[in-house]
Structure 1
Amino acid sequence: MAFGGPAQARESLGMYGQWGAFRDPAVPRCYAIAMAEPSTLARDYQPYAAIGTWPRRGARNQVHFRVSRKLAAHARIVLTIADQRYPLSGGGGDAWAPDDRANAAIVAAMRSAPAMTVSATDARGRRFSNTWPLPGAASAMDAASVGCARVR
């Protein structure tokens, strides 16, 4: 499930560390979002991580990553949280969990880890990674869930 850029119309539900929670009433959807840690390396995109809920679609806690570089065709994309590795699906500059079970496992792991990192190979064959701090992520995800709880 793709996200529009973080600059689209939204209502703030709160800031929690480097994570924000927002509601987009036009869709409707709610999401927690954070930018990746800064880097001096080349970037094709501004990387962010988002966990979204679309109540009318019955979709909850959908993990999405915008990575910093255009991905190689058929790139192996891996999310690392603590000592756990999760394979991701993706293309272009985006990556996501391959199914609901993986989404649930990733969201659960995010709640207790200090950081997460996505690693992949870019379109030029170079390895790269993006890292997100996780303090505040659990609160932002909870605020996003509550923000769309009454929407049907």
Structure 2
Amino acid sequence: MGAALAALLCSGAVLARDRLGIYNGWAAFKDAETPRCYAIASPEERISGSSRPGYLSIGFWPSQGVTHQIYVNLSRDRSTNSAVTLTAGGRRFRLRGAPSGGWASDRRMDLAIVAAIRSSASLSVESIGRDGRSIVDAYNLRGAPSAIDAAALGCAG
């Protein structure tokens, strides 16, 4: 298990009760109380002078009918004037911004990002921090498809 994933597992980002598996830097979890499942990873590289661990998650909320929901938590707070752009498989996606990250704008974008993740080796998320400096969080996608599948199966039926 990589140092970045180990740090993520110890952070507040991982609040689930049951670990479904670890897959080359990606992990899958299930929280039966909520209920929800998710695949999650921390960036392998941060070009941002990070102040906190960033992460990328793909969530499943069966009671709400939500699957494959993308959320990115940046390694620093972004400027409110800055877009959050995710790039994978030669495709660029402009996410709906939150102060510390971004969401896919709709289900169609969630599924397009997951498809890009499944066919790519790496992914980057970029924005501009409140201090005006670039935020670039880079993720290795090796193991991501297995973690996504484990999360989906963990919350199926």
Q: Residue in 2 aligned with 1:51?
A: 58
CA contact (8 A) 2:58 2:71 kept: yes
- Distance across 2 between alignment mates of 1:93 and 1:59: 22
* Residue type of the alignment partner of 2:77: K
CA contact (8 A) 2:46 2:138 kept: no
TM-score normalised to the size of structure 2?
A: 0.88
Q: Is residue 89 of structure 1 aligned with residue 76 of structure 2? A: no
Return the match for 2:147 from 137, 140, 149.
140
- Distance across 1 between alignment mates of 2:48 and 2:137: 11
TM-score normalised to the size of structure 1?
A: 0.91
- Distance across 2 between alignment mates of 1:51 and 1:93: 17
Structure 1 residue 96: Cα displacement = 1.2
Q: Residue in 2 aligned with 1:119?
A: 126
CA contact (8 A) 1:45 1:66 kept: no
Unaligned runs of 5+ in 1: none
Aligned length: 147
Unaligned runs of 5+ in 2: 1-10
Structure 1 residue 77: Cα displacement = 1.1
- Distance across 1 between alignment mates of 2:138 and 2:46: 10
- Distance across 1 between alignment mates of 2:95 and 2:154: 27
- Greater helix share, 1 or 2? 2
Aligned identity (percent) is 39
